[in-house]
């Protein structure tokens, strides 16, 4: 939460133009954050930035693909103007082919794309932004999925990428502890989003909750001591959230 007497904290949210990313961006703006938002859809980013301006946030919203190195460098340039980054939310994700194929039939170029966006891009963003996260003693949030641990049929490609991201989250939490940078994994649960609909083409997913169902979780998480939550993986739609005791 921002300090009303101090400078506004800065957050970078990827995949921010719709769905969960849009909800997180709105929550952070209301909490007093300035924002760097990105997604592939410029129209969605522009509309979101206009809506969030009511909170007084300074918002920059360059559109682009996080798997593109040139776009990541652009994001780092925008952050460098402030010299610090308080929060990085690696939310942008690639589902893969729709309908989802079984692993035995999975086209490897498509799987490579899934890993580029879901694994390599978040890691590359951290690498490029680490000096600014260190300056702020910031927090990294990597968006995971229950598919990372479920072994669900046809979800193997996406799930494997999120399982890899989970391991990156835990490892970075250990490696960045001396810099006082926290790293947290979040499974948002099933949500009524365009990505979830693409995973179930032709199926009515109106029984899934909208991404705003996660708002109580974000309010809880972002008011915890970062040193207590680093290295942990939370389910945003759990009945309650607790910080596990350290061994």
For the stretch 95-118, pLDDT in tens is 999 999 999 999 999 999 999 999
Is 69 domain-assigned? yes
The pLDDT assigned to 7 comes to 83
Q: Identify the residue whose tokens are 């879901």.
A: 118
CA-to-CA separations, 196 to 12, 24, 201, 219, 224, in angstroms, rounded: 23, 17, 9, 24, 29
Task: Write the CATH number for 39.
Answer: 3.40.50.720
> Structural domain of residue 132, as residue ranges?
10-234
- Total domains in the chain come to 1
The pLDDT assigned to 199 comes to 85
Segment 186-237, tens digit of pLDDT: 999 999 988 889 888 999 999 999 999 999 999 999 999 999 999 999 999 9
Is the backbone peptide bond immediately before 99 cis, with ω within 30 degrees of 0?
A: yes
The pLDDT assigned to 5 comes to 53
Is 41 domain-assigned? yes
Is 92 domain-assigned? yes
CB neighbourhood size of 203 (10 A): 10
Is 239 domain-assigned? no
Task: Give yes or no for residue 151 having a pLDDT over 90.
Answer: yes
Is 35 domain-assigned? yes
Q: Which residue in 130, 154, 159, 155 sits closest to 144, CA to CA?
A: 159
What residues are paired with 186 via a beta bridge?
Answer: 143, 234
Q: How far does Cα 116 stand from its chain's mean position?
A: 15
Is 194 domain-assigned? yes
With a CB cutoff of 8 Å and minimum separation 6, the contacts of 93 are 15, 117, 118, 143, 158, 195
Is 247 domain-assigned? no
6 confidence band (pLDDT: 50, 70, 90): low
Scanning 11-120, the segments in alpha helix (DSSP H) are 19-30, 42-52, 69-80, 108-115
Q: How far does Cα 198 stand from its chain's mean position?
A: 19
For residue 156 the two structure tokens come to 């193997």
Asked if 158 is an active-site residue, the reply is yes
pTM for the whole thing? Answer: 0.95
Distance CA 233, CA 180 (A): 18
Is 203 domain-assigned? yes
E-only strand ranges, 34-168: 34-38, 59-60, 87-90, 139-143
Task: Give yes or no for residue 1 having a pLDDT over 50.
Answer: no
């Amino acid at each position: 939460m921002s300090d009303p007497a101090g400078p506004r904290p800065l957050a970078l949210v990827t995949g921010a133009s719709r769905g969960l990313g849009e909800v997180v961006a709105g929550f952070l703006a209301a909490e007093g954050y300035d924002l760097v938002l990105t997604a592939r859809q410029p129209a969605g980013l522009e509309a979101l930035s206009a809506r969030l301006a009511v909170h007084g946030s300074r918002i920059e919203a360059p559109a682009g693909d996080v798997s593109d190195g040139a776009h990541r460098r652009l994001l780092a340039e925008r952050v460098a103007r402030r010299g610090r980054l308080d929060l990085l939310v690696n939310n942008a994700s690639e589902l893969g082919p729709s309908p989802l194929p079984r692993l035995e039939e999975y086209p490897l170029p498509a799987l490579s794309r899934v890993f580029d966006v879901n694994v390599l891009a978040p890691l590359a963003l951290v690498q490029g932004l680490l000096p600014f996260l260190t300056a702020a003693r910031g927090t990294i949030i990597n968006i995971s999925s229950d598919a990372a641990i479920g072994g669900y049929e046809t979800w193997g490609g996406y799930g494997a990428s999120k399982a890899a991201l989970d391991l990156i989250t835990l490892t970075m939490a250990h490696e960045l502890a001396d810099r006082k940078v926290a790293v947290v994994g979040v499974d948002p649960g099933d949500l009524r989003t365009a990505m979830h609909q693409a995973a179930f083409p032709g199926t009515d997913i109106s029984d899934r909750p909208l991404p705003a169902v996660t708002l109580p979780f974000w309010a809880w998480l972002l008011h915890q001591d970062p040193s207590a939550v680093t290295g942990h993986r939370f389910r945003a739609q759990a009945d309650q959230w607790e910080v596990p005791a350290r061994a």
